[in-house]
Amino acid sequence: MFVDEVRIHIKAGNGGDGSCSFRREKFVPRGGPDGGNGGHGGDVVFEASPRMTTLLDLRYQKHYEAEVGRQGGAANCSGRTGEDVVVALPVGTVIFDNETDELLADLVVPGQRYVGAHGGRGGRGNSHFATPTNRTPTEFETGTEGDERSLRLELKLLADVGLVGFPNVGKSTLIASISAARPKIADYPFTTLTPNLGIVRWGEKGSFAVADIPGIIEGAHEGKGLGIQFLRHIERTSFLLYMIDVSEWATDEPVKSFEILRQELAAYDEPITTRPFAVVATKIDVAGERTRLKALQKYCVRHRYTCLPISAATREGLTELVTYVGQQVAQLRAAPCETNS
C-alpha cells in the first residue's frame, strides 16, 4: 500500500534530576557535596532512508517517545543519557508542524537527519552549588521536559520527469515500456491509484527518473475524480510530459485535453505550468486517419511546443522520446552548475 501523508505525535525524553548527596567516607569528617548531574533526555530524530518508498509504517505507529535521562547519583556520578529514537523516512519526505503548518525539514538526501524533538537537559547536582560561604548546599536542579509536538509528514517523489494526463491515456503503459517499473495496466478509468516511479536508461551511461501519477480530469481541483492530491509528486520534477490521447476513439479533442490539463495544474500550483515540457501524442497506432494527431501537431507548431508522437504498444517513437527527454534532463541538471561558475 502506498501512503504519502501521515500525522504523528512525538515526545523527546525528559532530563534526569540532579542529585543531592554528601560524601560519607572513613577519616573524612567534613565530606563535601558530591551529588551528580542528571542525564539528558533522548531526542526524536528523523532520517531519510533510500530503502523506504512509502509512509505506510507510520500509519500504524503514530506515537514516538524517546527515553528519559536518569537521575544523578552520589560520588559525582552522572545519570545515563536517554536513548534517541530514530525514525526512518523515505527520501523526499517533507516535515510540517501540524498545528502551525510551518515547514520544518525537507529530507531530500539519503542519510539526511532532522531532530524533530530535542530531549530535556539534565539537572545539576548539589556539588555544582558549593561556594566558599556555602560548603554544604542542599540545592539541586530538576531536569527539564523534552519537546513534544504533532507533525504532518508528506512524501513527494524525487523524479526528473512527471507524466500528466487523463485516465487511460497511456501513462502506465509508457512507463512500463521504457523502464523496469510494472504498474497496473487495464482498460478502465483510474487504473492507477498510486504514483509509480521508474528509472529510464538512455545513451551509454545516462538515466532519469519518471513519475507516473493517477489520471487528472476536468474539475480535479474541485475534488472530482481522484482530485489533485497526487500532484505533489510532480512538484520536484524539472520536466513535464503532457500525455494526450490521439486515438480515433478518444472522447475529447486533443487540443482541448491539453488546455484542460494546463488549467488543472495552474489551479493547483501556478509555477508548475512554467516548467519546461513537451506534448506526447499517444496511441498513434490506432489513430485512424490521424486527423486528431495532425490537429495537435498544428497547435503545437503554432505555439512552438515540442510534440512527440508515440505508440507504447508498438514502441513507435519511444527511442526518439527517451533521447529527447534524456537530453532535456541533462541540460536542466547542468544549468545550475553553469550558473554558479
Q: Which string of DSSP letters, residue by residue, matches 298-321?
A: HHHHHHT--EEE-BTTTTBTHHHH
Of 34, 277, 48, 4, nearest to 156 (Cα)?
4
Who contacts 323 (Cβ-Cβ below 8 Å, separation ≥6)? 202, 203
Question: Do both 96 and 137 map to the same domain?
Answer: yes
Q: State the pLDDT at residue 171.
A: 85
Q: State the pLDDT at residue 132.
A: 87
d(CA 20, CA 118): 26
- Enumerate residue ranges in the chain where pLDDT < 50: 184-186, 188-193, 220-221, 223-227, 337-341
Question: Do both 168 and 311 map to the same domain?
Answer: yes
Question: Do both 11 and 139 map to the same domain?
Answer: yes
Number of domains in the chain: 2
Question: Do both 146 and 230 map to the same domain?
Answer: no
List, for residues 252-285, the tens digit of each pLDDT value.
899 999 999 998 888 888 888 899 999 999 999 9
Q: State the pLDDT at residue 49.
A: 92
Question: Do both 166 and 309 map to the same domain?
Answer: yes
Q: What is the CATH number of the domain that holds 126?
A: 2.70.210.12
pTM of the model: 0.74
The values of phi and psi at residue 230, to 5°, are: -90, -5
CB 297 within 8 A of CB 281: yes
Q: Which of 140, 155, 170 is the last residue in one of the domains?
A: 155
Question: Do both 102 and 238 map to the same domain?
Answer: no
Question: Do both 211 and 290 map to the same domain?
Answer: yes
Domain of 81, in residue numbers: 5-155
Q: State the pLDDT at residue 159.
A: 85
Question: Do both 289 and 333 map to the same domain?
Answer: yes
